Structure 1
Amino acid sequence: MYVSLGFAQAPCCCLQSTKWSQQPCFSAAGYRKSKAKPNGKKTASEEKKVYLEPEHTKSRITDFEFKELVVLPREIDLNEWLASNTTTFFHHINLQYSTISEFCTGETCQTMAVCNTQYYWYDERGKKVKCTAPQYVDFVMSSVQKLVTDEDVFPTKYGREFPSSFESLVKKICKYLFHVLGHIYWAHFKETLALELHGHLNTLYVHFILFAREFNLLDPKETAVMDDLTEVLCSSPGSSGATGDGASSGASGAQNHVKER
């Protein structure tokens, strides 16, 4: 079983502020790359990445050394540590998205895009679901909520064991949560800035990325889409100067075509 560790859990209102539809829990098929063609429509964010401006990247809500915080404590089971932190990240990212959810609509975000990459959802039967960004996030949050409240996957009762597939499930959860964080930066950073919540977003991003790196939860190829931001945020004070394996040497070379996943 796992107990709540790490930073404080986000208030339960993060799940109440946005109405998530109950969708089937994602399966391994939900992570296949899509071959569908993107609409090719560019957003204003493509012209200039506001979130990379120095005055914004310096913003944090704490100068805590997250590299120290993510390390597995002594006498704590690895699965318990992964479960506690994954659940906490889910609540915080859910809450962060809820602050800009009214701006993320089917009209403003017709596709789930992050930089030059467009994501598609696959249900548990492997069927591709064409959806807007808010629908995609809906699928993510509903599916993760179902998993973290499933006693067979995230056991909380004494004597219950974690499933053998637990680590792979955590990796899939982190992959989808990364997509949500990336979309907030890419499509809704200006709104986040207007709400003066960019410091919270940067702090959450650094903590999440360093935790994922510590336990190899995210494929560097998956996070490469945000390597420019990761390099800036995770090499600045408060992140122990970590750049880790998640940073790609080709981060500065933006591609001109749109990838599909």
Structure 2
Amino acid sequence: MFLFEIGRCAGNYLWSYVPGVSSEPRKRKKTTEDVPNRNGEREKLCLQDRHVTCRLHRDDLKTYVQLPKGVEENEWIATHTIKLYDNLQLITNCLTEYCTAENCPVMSGGQNLIFYWVSERNKKMRPTAPTYIEMVMSWTEKQIKDELVFPTKYGNQFPPTFKDTVRKMFRFFFHIIAHIYYSHFQDVINFELVPHLNTLFHHYVLFSQEFNLVEDKEMAPLETLINLLIGTN
């Protein structure tokens, strides 16, 4: 049976752990200062120390991702996956005004890096970023609500393919996170969401490493940022 509430370790850090943080952060009007910088400058912006060190709390997230005694591993993984999905969706919802087909015609995650979508018929597609994100979120929600994939009823077991499904989710999550850091970090700054995004990504990286959910080469586009985030824990 799936554990819905495992407390603080489950990852409820983005909105519920910080006083005064709303699930709908206030929006600021776009000004000439909000215009995104050129690609190289955008990448350097998120690597600046004043942004890298911006976190919601200074607790050691490594202790939060470790499997507690008495908790079944798949239940723990399922709980964190859902929490990461929920928190990532909150951030993407704040950026819909700027992540548009016009502004983001492809799903980019860095210079010369484009993420493609492969349909159920194995057809390679090149959707706009907002379309890609919507497809990821819709597909993930469908898996989470599927009792055969994420069991919630007593006696139901996780399928043998559960971890493979989660690994696919985590790859998709990384694509979205990379796109946000690369294409929308100035918007993240404007919305005052830097500590939320950094904490989410830090959690994502540590949990991925703890349970071998994403290969290092998959996260290579943000390798420098990952090293900085972990180094400033």
TM-score (norm 1): 0.76
Determine if the alignment matches structure 1 residue 71 to structure 2 residue 66.
yes
Residues 10, 95 of structure 1: 8 Å contact kept:
no
**Percent identity of equivalent pairs:** 36
Question: Number of matched residues?
Answer: 208
Cα shift at 1:7: 2.5
Q: Tell me, what secondary structure is at the counterpart of 1:97?
A: helix
Please name the residue that 1:7 is paired with: 11
Separation in 2 of the partners of 1:118 and 1:77?
37
Match of 1:45 among 29, 39, 42: 39
Write the deviation string for residues 51-76 of structure 1: whole angstroms up to 9, x where unpaired.
Answer: 11111111011111000100000010
1:80 aligned to which of 75, 78, 89: 75
Give me the whole-angstrom Cα distance separating, in 1, the residues matched to 2:3 and 2:165. Answer: 18
Aligned counterpart, 2:18: none
1:184 corresponds in structure 2 to 180
**Counterpart among 120, 127, 151 of residue 123 in structure 2:** 127
Stretches of 4+ aligned residues off by more than 4 angstroms = none
2:202 is the alignment partner of 1:206: yes
Letter in 2 for 1:211: F
Instruction: Answer with 178-187 or 44-53: which moved more.
Output: 44-53
Unaligned runs of 5+ in 2: 16-21, 24-36
Q: CA deviation at 1:123?
A: 1.1
**Which residue does 1:101 correspond to in 2?**
96
Q: Report the Cα distance in structure 1 between the residues aligned to 2:71 and 2:149, rounded to whole angstroms.
A: 18
Note the alpha carbon deviations across 1:189-217, whole angstroms, 9 max, x for none.
Answer: 00110111101111111011100000010
Q: Following TM superposition, by how much is the alpha carbon of 1:92 offset from its aligned partner in structure 2, in angstroms? A: 0.6
Corresponding residue for residue 26 of structure 2: none
Equivalent-residue separation in structure 1 for 2:203 and 2:106 (angstroms):
27
Q: Is the 8 A contact 1:8 1:88 kept in 2?
A: yes
The 5 A counterparts of 1:108-123 are 108-116=103-111, 117-123=113-119
Distance, in Å, in 1 between the alignment partners of 2:13 and 2:226 is 24
Deviation at 1:9, TM superposition (A): 8.4
The residue that corresponds to 2:191 in the other structure is 195
Structure 1: gaps (5+ residues): 15-42, 238-261
